[in-house]
Amino acid sequence: MSTTLTGLTSAEIAELLAVKPFQGRQIFKWLYQKKVFDFEAMTDLSKPLRSTLKTAYAGHTLELVEMQVCARTGTKKALLRLHDGESVESVLIRDHDRVTLCVSSQVGCALKCDFCATGLAGFTRNLDCAEIIEQVLFLLAGEPMGDRTPNIVFMGMGEPFRNYDTVMKTIHLMMDKEGLGIGARKITVSTAGDIPGIQKFAHEEHQVRLSVSLHAANNTLRSRLVPLNRKYPLEDLRDAILYYQETCGRQITFEWTVLQDVNDSVQDAKELLQFMQHIQASVNLIPWNPVQGLPYAPARMDRCQAFSDTLARAGVACTIRREKGQDIDAACGQLRRTHAV
């Protein structure tokens, strides 16, 4: 396998190739700003340098296996093959002018949340920087973004805090103004409640957002839906979130996948309000995308609305996410299962 140059900073590219810093920056811009991976097309590089690159390096490491596009919503879902034959999924979601990319940080996931297609398949390995950032480059290729930058959410396959250092390095690469130039506030890291990760993240200097996938606010139900709760129960998770907010002062988001007759009642909403006391947070209610073989159903809209109204009456901002692609296997891990890779 040839070495790829994605996943490296411009300084690292210059050092690896033993070229001048400005040449490292030229290559960096081709890869990230112009999304050009063909070294021959990098016309401001010298011919000998292009020839060296072509012989010894690969423009990218991922290969596109399948791209599904939902005709109704414009949601795009990519299945990408890694150099070792493994695969990951990434999703592009459109909401009017807003484009959000949902990227994976691991192949599979060890946390085995009970409603998740990725959890069913188990954990294989962490992704490296190139494998994470190329998901963004593949999804954006051909997108008419103009001056807009996308939102990035680490909400695809895997628990990002279990691949902490790589995820942070990738975030810095995404933010680099000579590359993708994505603002820190447009990037969200979503955790299932990994307490050491939350505590460490509190000390990061950038303004990247934190979201916690809660799904239940009593330990019995949450331990069933999110087995990580057995290790880090709600009381400890709450303390970690309060520590995070005391340290960096940033508001967070709670994600709540709404499952019919499981966690969609007004009583569930009241438990959430109790849990949220003194925490500065908004709530996203996420419609569950059905996964074959799992004993759940998406909550009805009237139940979601009653849940949301309960929060709103208590002054908590709550958004019911619109379903974005039941017709394209949109739940994370589903496309990969379909291909059985």
* Separation of alpha carbons 96 and 330, rounded Å: 19
Catalytic residue among 109, 129, 318, 332: 332
66 is catalytic: no
Q: Does 109 bind ligand SF4 (CB under 6 A)?
A: yes
The C-alpha angle 312, 314, 317, rounded to 5 degrees, equals 40
* Separation of alpha carbons 31 and 39, rounded Å: 9
Which span (60-68, 114-122, 267-275, 279-287) binds ligand SF4, by CB under 6 A?
Answer: 114-122
Site string for ligand SF4, 280-319 (x = CB under 6 A): ----------------------------------------
- DSSP for residue 195: H
- For the chain, the C-alpha Rg in angstroms (whole number) is 21
Q: Are 284 and 253 in contact (CB under 8 A)?
A: yes
Catalytic residue among 89, 131, 159, 255: 89
Residues 188-207 touching ligand SF4, rule: CB under 6 A, are: 192
Q: Which of 81, 112, 224, 250 binds ligand SF4 (CB under 6 A)?
A: 112
| DSSP code string of 95-119 | ETTEEEEE--SEEE-SS--TT-HHH
332 is catalytic: yes
Measured from the CB atom, the residue of 91 and 109 that comes closer to ligand SF4 is: 109
Site string for ligand SF4, 127-146 (x = CB under 6 A): --------------------
* Separation of alpha carbons 40 and 221, rounded Å: 56
Q: Are 113 and 262 in contact (CB under 8 A)?
A: no
Q: Which residues are catalytic?
A: 89, 332
Summarize as ranges the residues that interact with ligand SF4 (CB under 6 A): 109, 111-113, 116, 118-119, 157-159, 192, 332
